[in-house]
Structure 1
Amino acid sequence: MTKTGSLCTVTPSGSKDDSPALMDAFKQCGQNGQIEVTQGDYTIAKVMDVLNLKNCDISIRGKLTWNDDIQYWLKNSVGVTYASRSTAFRLGGENFTLLGHGQALFFGNGQKWYDQNRGNSNQNGRPISLTLWKAKNVWIDGITWRQPQFWHTFVAHSENITMTNLDMNATSSTQWSTVNTDGFDSWNSKDIVIKNWIVTCGDDCISIKGNSSNIHVRNVTCYESGAMCIGSLGNPTNIPDFVDNVLFEDITAVHSSNAAWIKTYPGIGHVRNITFRNIHIVDVNQPIYVSPCIYSYSNCDASRLKISDVSWENVTGTSRYNVAVGVYCSKQTPCTGFKFKDIDIRPKDGGKAKILCSNMNSDSGLACTGTCPVGWKQQLSGNA
């Protein structure tokens, strides 16, 4: 690393670990400075945790490869509180940019993680690739991810975050699935813009979790994913979770599990003022889905987490099976203010789609063909 005035320039060392040079750059130029990570191959063998950035522009044009010392990362990745998750790379502070110019590549050696996990659990210590933590006024642009260890990005306790032109792909080449390689998750954050993303991830593409508000997601294409999701929320069940004011628009979901959906535990809090607009789907298992009792599919009618004022507009394309919509709301706290307009979802193998609805307002504009059974599953394995 070399420093000229307020500019720190990092070049590849050819060693087994370039993280000390990067951390040195963050230390010397992370406040009122610039950091240039030049083209070339960098190895990251240690956690990078930088929470005091201020008025800093970070430019990355190289390939950053996190090494495959799984035991190191399991022991040392930085905890981020939510659901015992942790991260390999955390940035915080205010007024900073992280720009990849379409050249930056974050490579997580994910296949090693997928294989050792053997399709099992989230595995505590398995690190999120990039976390924004207590960050304010941030722009991230032009970065490509391949084979992340776990989630690609996590935004927590942050506000006024813009993330544009990102390309993400987690795909296993063996018998073992990637397991929970979300594209994006928010938590306790507000005022977020996500625009122009391409994501292949095998789990939630964009997931809005508890205490998130004022989020605009536009022009995102998701493959092999859960696409646009509110949740999960309401766990622990005694702590309120809130999500307000989210707009998903101009979204494409291809060969995915879900498209435009809301999943909560039987907890407390609310989901309010959500819009899914201009959603095109191709071969999606359960395109529109709402559940108050995700994963356990029990105690569904006890949920007091109110879901209201949700619109689905111009949702078109093909479902994998014969269910286009499966909505089950808690009997104790029925869904209100649901609105559906221009829904045209057709089973890919022909026939008429079923629209199953329970405990929601009758003036939604949706022509329900039957009731949705309690504990309706997130995934179907065939026609209903």
Structure 2
Amino acid sequence: MGEEWWSRSCKVNSSNTCREGPTAITFHKCNNLNLRNLVMLDSQQMHIAFTNCEEVRASNLKVNAPASSPNTDAIHISSSTEVTVINSMISTGDDCISIVGNSSNIEVRNVSCIAGHGISIGSLGRAHALSKVEHVLIQNVSLSHTKNGLRVKTWQGGSGYVQHIKFQFAQMENVSRPIIIDQYYCDSSHSCANQTSAVRVKNISFTHIKGSSATEEAIRFACSESFPCKEIELEDVQLSSSSGGITTMFCWNARGSTEGRVYPLPCPSFDDSVIEQKSIPGVISYSKSS
């Protein structure tokens, strides 16, 4: 019966007071948990959350809510380790799967995401928080008509790291912004202040990522000036335009390597040890609602 809650959301009506809604099901401090064959419909906000859990296996799940429903993350993983999510179909109005600090050894396989905001690591580091996410494998996933594809998002001012992340064998269909690393994430109605500290991002690989982008900018790496993204790997990435035009890649303080065919063409600065760009108009203090 989530619709009653969605209509009161500040993301639906800016005159409403922003407040948290309930998560439909939360598993807290569970060990050796096996969750399977569950259907979830129209949660008030997040559908399923695993918090402070260890050794979780979630399989054959179906999660469904309208694309317009706010904050209805399907599966949210927080401060947990050894979590596996497999063989599931998800269609919601927010993140298909979200992984936040402090989580490690997470595996997502054979998951289909329709509409919503894609698969996200983050957001991390809000309100100067310390966040650590590492050893994550996202493999054999499909994303269709989502607002984002495979994303890492961190707030300015945080600390900690995101590292050893592998996105492999993903199929995109008409996805806006299929690949994103965003260290300037700002989910606020106001611009976020510039800050020098950041959650560090390194050793992130995108391998065998193919399909179509709904936007010209198919790959976006917007990284911190103080702590640039390092060891970003692109291998066999083919992202064409849904409309038949070109696709592009944007880089700001991102350093990495490419292997095999990569399209859109990498930024000239991507493989350089020194970033030559001097300014990034309209990025440092922008705000977003996705």
- TM superposition score normalised by structure 2: 0.85
The letter for the 2-side match of 1:111 is: E
Report what 2:3 is aligned to: 111
One of 349, 368, 373 as aligned partner of 2:266: 368
Seen in structure 2, the aligned counterparts of structure 1 residues 370 and 348 have a Cα distance that, compared at 3 Å, is farther
Deviation at 1:377, TM superposition (A): 6.8
Secondary structure, in 3 states, of the residue corresponding to 1:149? Answer: coil
Q: Indicate conservation of the 8 Å contact 1:326/1:376, yes or no.
A: no
Q: Indicate conservation of the 8 Å contact 1:327/1:356, yes or no.
A: yes
Report what 2:127 is aligned to: 236
Deviation at 1:206, TM superposition (A): 0.5
Q: Distance in 1 between matches of 2:60 and 2:134?
A: 25
Task: State yes or no: 1:336 paired with 2:242.
Answer: no
For structure 1, the residue ranges without an aligned partner over 5 or more in a row are 1-108
Seen in structure 2, the aligned counterparts of structure 1 residues 219 and 379 have a Cα distance that, compared at 3 Å, is farther
Seen in structure 2, the aligned counterparts of structure 1 residues 325 and 224 have a Cα distance that, compared at 3 Å, is same
Seen in structure 2, the aligned counterparts of structure 1 residues 144 and 347 have a Cα distance that, compared at 3 Å, is same
Q: Indicate conservation of the 8 Å contact 1:301/1:329, yes or no.
A: no
Secondary structure, in 3 states, of the residue corresponding to 1:128? Answer: coil
Task: Compute the RMSD of aligned alpha carbons.
Answer: 2.3
Deviation at 1:351, TM superposition (A): 1.9
Superimposed CA distance per residue, residues 188-211 of structure 1 (whole angstroms, 9 cap, x where no aligned partner): 111100001111111100000110
Q: Distance in 1 between matches of 2:196 and 2:40?
A: 40
Q: Distance in 2 between matches of 1:140 and 1:349?
A: 40
Secondary structure, in 3 states, of the residue corresponding to 2:135? Answer: strand
One of 170, 174, 181 as aligned partner of 1:279: 170
Superimposed CA distance per residue, residues 167-202 of structure 1 (whole angstroms, 9 cap, x where no aligned partner): 000117xxxx31100011111111100001111111
Q: Distance in 2 between matches of 1:378 and 1:253?
A: 25
Report what 2:274 is aligned to: none
Report what 1:325 is aligned to: 219
Q: How does 1:20-169 map to 2 (within 5 A)?
A: 109-117=1-9, 119-120=12-13, 123-124=18-19, 126-169=21-64
The letter for the 1-side match of 2:85 is: I
Q: Distance in 2 between matches of 1:336 and 1:157?
A: 29
One of 303, 318, 323 as aligned partner of 2:197: 303
Structure (1 or 2) with the larger CA radius of gyration? 1
The letter for the 2-side match of 1:163 is: A
Deviation at 1:293, TM superposition (A): 1.7
Deviates more, 1:367-376 or 1:286-295: 367-376
One of 272, 291, 296 as aligned partner of 2:182: 291
Task: State yes or no: 1:246 paired with 2:141.
Answer: no
Higher RCO (CA 8 Å, separation ≥ 6 residues): 2
Corresponding pairs, count: 267
Report what 1:48 is aligned to: none
Q: Indicate conservation of the 8 Å contact 1:337/1:364, yes or no.
A: no
Secondary structure, in 3 states, of the residue corresponding to 2:4? Answer: helix
Seen in structure 2, the aligned counterparts of structure 1 residues 134 and 221 have a Cα distance that, compared at 3 Å, is same
The letter for the 2-side match of 1:211 is: N
The letter for the 1-side match of 2:36 is: D
Q: Indicate conservation of the 8 Å contact 1:129/1:152, yes or no.
A: yes
Seen in structure 2, the aligned counterparts of structure 1 residues 139 and 362 have a Cα distance that, compared at 3 Å, is closer
Q: Indicate conservation of the 8 Å contact 2:194/2:285, yes or no.
A: no
Report what 2:81 is aligned to: 190
Q: Distance in 2 between matches of 1:150 and 1:245?
A: 27
Q: Indicate conservation of the 8 Å contact 1:286/1:319, yes or no.
A: yes
Seen in structure 2, the aligned counterparts of structure 1 residues 135 and 220 have a Cα distance that, compared at 3 Å, is same
Q: Distance in 2 between matches of 1:231 and 1:363?
A: 23
Superimposed CA distance per residue, residues 283-341 of structure 1 (whole angstroms, 9 cap, x where no aligned partner): 11111111112125645662331100000001111111211101011010011111000
For structure 2, the residue ranges without an aligned partner over 5 or more in a row are 270-276
The letter for the 2-side match of 1:149 is: Q
Question: Greater helix share, 1 or 2?
Answer: 1
Deviation at 1:350, TM superposition (A): 1.0
Seen in structure 2, the aligned counterparts of structure 1 residues 362 and 149 have a Cα distance that, compared at 3 Å, is closer
Secondary structure, in 3 states, of the residue corresponding to 2:7? Answer: helix
Secondary structure, in 3 states, of the residue corresponding to 1:326? Answer: strand
Q: Report the identity percentage.
A: 28
